[in-house]
Amino acid sequence: MKMNQVWIACACAALLSTPLAQAEIKTVVEHIGNDDAKPGFKFKNISAPSKTDAATKAKFTIVDGEQDGNGGSLDTLHDGATPTDEDQPEANFFFRQGADGGRIQIDLGNVIDVKQINTYSWHRDTRGPQVYKLYAADGKAANFAASPKRGTDPEKVGWKLLANVDARPKAGKAGGQYGVSTSDTGGSLGRYRYLLFDISKTEAVDPFGNTFYSEIDVIDKNAPPTVEVAGAAVEDTADDYATEGGREKFSILYADAPDLKDWTRNILAPTVAKWYPMIARMLPSPGYEAARKFTIEFTNRYHGVAATGGTHIVCDPAWYRNNVAPKGQGPGSVVHELVHVVQQYKGARGARIPGWLVEGIPDYIRWYLYEPQTHGAEITARGLAQARYDGSYRISANFLSWATNKYDKDLVPKLNLALRQGSYGDEQWTKLTNHGLEELNEEWRQALADDLGVALPAAAAADPTVNTLSAIEKAAGWVLLFDGKDFNGWHNFKDQGVHPGWQVKDGTLACVDPHQAGDIVTTEKFGWFELQLDYNISEAGNSGIMYHVTDDGGAVWATGPEFQLEDNVKAADPVRCGWLYALYQPPIDPATGKALDATKPAGQWNHVRLLISPEKCVHEINGVKYFEYVLGSEDFNRRVARSKFASMPGFAKATSGYIALQGDHGSVIFRNIKIRPIQP
């Protein structure tokens, strides 16, 4: 058919002035398998991702489908930054788990002559290959629909089909890096302003068939050559190693921290080479093999100490610079992360995975096996009052060490087995020790008190004023959103009831297990109001309060602005506690040179006041006012347009909605949650 068309065109003299009519669209697919995939996306025929292409400044919008909350925002698709590892959800965009993809629209701002469209993805499994239809439009058709949802054929509303891509390999493993490039043998795909990606899942065997899209590039035929992302440089600043015994391979990337290079080579790499295989042997389970390949990246993108996603560890160079001394905490913090690489408890879906064990086991291995000489997890007389087995990190590590010595030398491997197989429940403790958890808790605290030579402090008496309203407050119109006894008035977002990760505990509304919690919302909607509450966040914890949340978004933050909550000292997110997420932050405090911070440390109660009225909105922490803003004002809208929320059509649009509490980022407890509706 193509030959026919070409011959007809050539016979017609008038078409000589438009030689493009002879041209043919072609799509090239390249696949680099898991073992050879490296940061930088270096393909043979497809150019590496660019950070100066026409998509870099374009507007990306989801027109159908829901983003997966574990992934990055649409920004990751055109920020010129690409993942440095095969399992790095936050560096990719992907549609919600269980869904069959969705549609993304790109607005280039004006009509340009499009030379080429490239898409890049990376995952070690079936989320690697790409399956999509690509449409383009100049937006000038009379019946043009800019945001056609699934069910509307784009070709019927002003769009042209450019490519029908299916990069899934016919044989062999699907994992690895993919590059897909669509161009035209005539040099131009045509003049377009809009692109539409109709993205499909790659498999239906499990819910994880939505591709990890890393970057989308649009090459303008008339623009200067694009600049590639720093892939080559990344390779020059990475070292590859094998563990002791040679079974596993790992890389240490230090592009953002060349000053740490010698330390990573002389101190960190030998520690990792020795301890990773040991940790894998400590935490076995039948049929499970710890990852044989992982990466450790020092990157300025991450703020905190270190964190692990899949087989990728990220470390904050700023923190490590202060901890590289011979006796510094640097290597030990990475040992903790190595345990996360081995744990991989996420595989057991539907099972209850308590956060205190997910963090307690790595800290147990770190403080009691790797560096016992530092006594880093000892509990002091002052800390005793707060000590509870589920205090997470070092506190839970201390409890695990005590229970191991007293009851069962193989306690931690046995707990690990149950957690990985999805059979863990608190009753496990009774089976292993003949004592219930609460009973063990009291026994452990008594042992700590005996060792310290102090009396065991009594559990704090219940404060009768907590979760109550005074007569004056009632008269002023305040209502309690939480009575300290049950979940009345709350449910999980787009779900019935409250997930088991949330509990009512000692008069608090507690997110005790972020893996099983999700975000909860009020049953009632609120328009204008004053909200007050107390929160107490765990070390490195991150949560948030959203308002004006509606059911239109895929996540509560897709519609509701967020009052950020986090442990300002150790949490990873650079958006600090009390800020309106990605939009407003308090002024610089001359005393510190940093943004004003009135929070008390993790583990202590803080008071929040949030006023949302048509005239002004105010954020306060512990009585200190942070800033004011006006919803829908010019200033507000300008900030939204510059933020990641620009791609979310429903963000901050509603003037009434649910209050939401975020539960999937860390342990946090709330109390005294009260609201005073305001009639405008």
Half-sphere exposure of 162 (CA within 13 A, CB side): 29
Sequence-distant (6+) residues with CB within 8 A of 566 are 537, 541, 542, 543, 573, 575, 576, 577, 666
Nearer to Zn ion, 83 or 666 (CB): 666
Nearer to Zn ion, 103 or 340 (CB): 340
Site string for Zn ion, 304-343 (x = CB under 5 A): ----------------------------------------
Nearer to Zn ion, 359 or 562 (CB): 359
| 187-195, 354-362, 518-526, 612-620 -> range binding Zn ion (CB under 5 A) | 354-362
Map residue 299 onto helix, strand or coil.
coil
| Least distance in angstroms from the C-beta of 266 to Zn ion | 25
| 72-80, 117-125, 356-364, 459-467 -> range binding Zn ion (CB under 5 A) | 356-364
| Least distance in angstroms from the C-beta of 342 to Zn ion | 12
| Least distance in angstroms from the C-beta of 57 to Zn ion | 37
Distance CA 176, CA 121 (A): 8
| Least distance in angstroms from the C-beta of 362 to Zn ion | 5
| 77-85, 231-239, 243-251, 353-361 -> range binding Zn ion (CB under 5 A) | 353-361
Structure tokens at 548: 């004006």
Nearer to Zn ion, 231 or 376 (CB): 376
DSSP 37-73: --TT---SSSPPPBSSSTTTTSEEEEEES-B-TTS--
Q: Which residue, among 671, 659, 632, 650, has the nearest Cα to 530 in the 3D structure?
A: 659
Site string for Zn ion, 359-378 (x = CB under 5 A): x-------------------
Nearer to Zn ion, 415 or 617 (CB): 415
Distance CA 156, CA 154 (A): 5
Q: Which residue, among 89, 136, 100, 104, has the nearest Cα to 117 in the 3D structure?
A: 136
Nearer to Zn ion, 314 or 608 (CB): 314
The answer to whether residues 291 and 283 touch, using CB atoms and an 8 Å cutoff, is no
Range 98-117, binding Zn ion (CB under 5 A) = none
Nearer to Zn ion, 108 or 540 (CB): 540
Q: Which residue, among 361, 332, 329, has the nearest Cα to 344 in the 3D structure?
A: 361
| Least distance in angstroms from the C-beta of 308 to Zn ion | 7
| 26-34, 133-141, 358-366, 614-622 -> range binding Zn ion (CB under 5 A) | 358-366
Residue number closest to Zn ion, CB atom: 359
| Least distance in angstroms from the C-beta of 366 to Zn ion | 10
The answer to whether residues 78 and 195 touch, using CB atoms and an 8 Å cutoff, is no
By CB under 5 A, how many residues form the interface with Zn ion?
Answer: 1
Tokens 């305040």, located at residue: 478
Give whole-number Cα distances, 509 to 49, 438, 578, 591, 667, in Å: 46, 19, 19, 35, 11
Nearer to Zn ion, 184 or 359 (CB): 359
| Least distance in angstroms from the C-beta of 351 to Zn ion | 19
| 226-234, 283-291, 352-360, 631-639 -> range binding Zn ion (CB under 5 A) | 352-360
| Least distance in angstroms from the C-beta of 304 to Zn ion | 10
The answer to whether residues 616 and 584 touch, using CB atoms and an 8 Å cutoff, is no
User: Binding residues for Zn ion, per CB under 5 A?
Assistant: 359
